[in-house]
Chains A and B, each alone.
Chain A
Amino acid sequence: MSHEPLVKNETLSHGTIECSDLVVTRRFLTEFLGMKIHRPVPEAQYIHKGGPWSVVCVCVEGGEAKEQIPDNRFKISVGSKEEVRQAHDEALRLREQYGIRQVNDLVESDVMVSFQLQDLNRTWWEITTADERYYGQLFERGDIA
């Protein structure tokens, strides 16, 4: 049975994070995470990597971005388990250069490999093999019993 939602929402369009320094943060986002960045307004830059979705990175003037926890994070999909392992090695090697605060251990299972890191602004990122195909299968499968 179809229903009319309370909110006429065309699409999920963006998430939002804080940063303390747009330029230093951009270096991490592009050079380390491989993101594309636009800065259409003075106070924020927009992060994207394929698809219609953006993460808006807002500069907290004269302040520090607040501490987040791994349960509030953004996931970045890469092409293979080996790429996740390499990314983990790189995160440990370049931790100081990019101000990475924490690098958690790799988590490996039959279906995916991933790890989480906390960046210079206390935002958490997960590098994972989970991709659209993986999530598409979750939706096709439906609710677990």
Chain B
Amino acid sequence: MGAQTAYTSENPCISAKSLICGTLVTTDLARVRHMLEKGFGLECVRAGPDLLVARDRQHRSGENKAGEPFWVLEIRQKDTVPVAQEMLNHWGMAAPNQAAVDEAYKNVNERKQEFGIVRVQKPRFRHGSYACYFVDVDSNWWELEYRAPEITYEALRAKGDLHKD
């Protein structure tokens, strides 16, 4: 019998197909769209009067990632942000290398007002990854993270590391 590579259930109550979406709140859809498109390079579309959806670029027909699974962020506009978010409720993005994290730190610092970013944390190593955090005016936390190939999320899943309880 092979080693266990993930904690799973043989017969879960819900037959989930996929984790598909995360949701967050803004007080200004136009501002957050500017940040996501021009700042973070995501594709955005206005799906309702108070709703923006975002995903990685290149998933449209004929583009590089067409047909590959994608994750969606739904951003809902409200008059206020009812519950301020904190570091442990952040949204993560992958950087291609360490230099890209340093460059993003510099670029965002220089133009943070334009993008509605109120705080930029200096890059640092944490748990083997190199990352910096941005906090936007709606209190949403964004992480840009470089992980060495052996500790990417996919690599860790493939290794099946199961730390003992």
Binding site for B on A (CB under 8 A): 3, 5-18, 22-23, 26, 30-42, 45-56, 58, 60, 66-69, 71-79, 83, 87, 90-91, 94, 126-128, 130-132, 135-136, 138-144
Contact = CB atoms under 8 A, between A and B. Distances in A.
Nearest to B51: A144
Contacts, number: 257
B125 interface: no
7 contacts: A12-B92, A14-B153, A38-B156, A51-B70, A74-B23, A76-B18, A78-B15
A68 B83 contact: yes
Interface of B: 6-9, 12-25, 37-43, 45-49, 53, 55-56, 59-61, 69-74, 76, 78, 82-83, 85-86, 88-96, 100, 103-104, 107-108, 111, 115, 127, 144-145, 151, 153-154, 156-157, 159-163, 165
Contact of B16 (A16, A34, A53): A34
A51 B13 contact: no
B153 A6 contact: no
A32 to B, nearest CB: 5
B18 A71 contact: no
Contact of B94 (A5, A13, A31, A75): A13
Contacts of A46: 153, 156-157
Given A71-B82, A72-B24, A42 B163 contact: yes
B88 A71 contact: no
Contacts of A34: 9, 12-16
Contact of B104 (A7, A12, A40, A128): A7
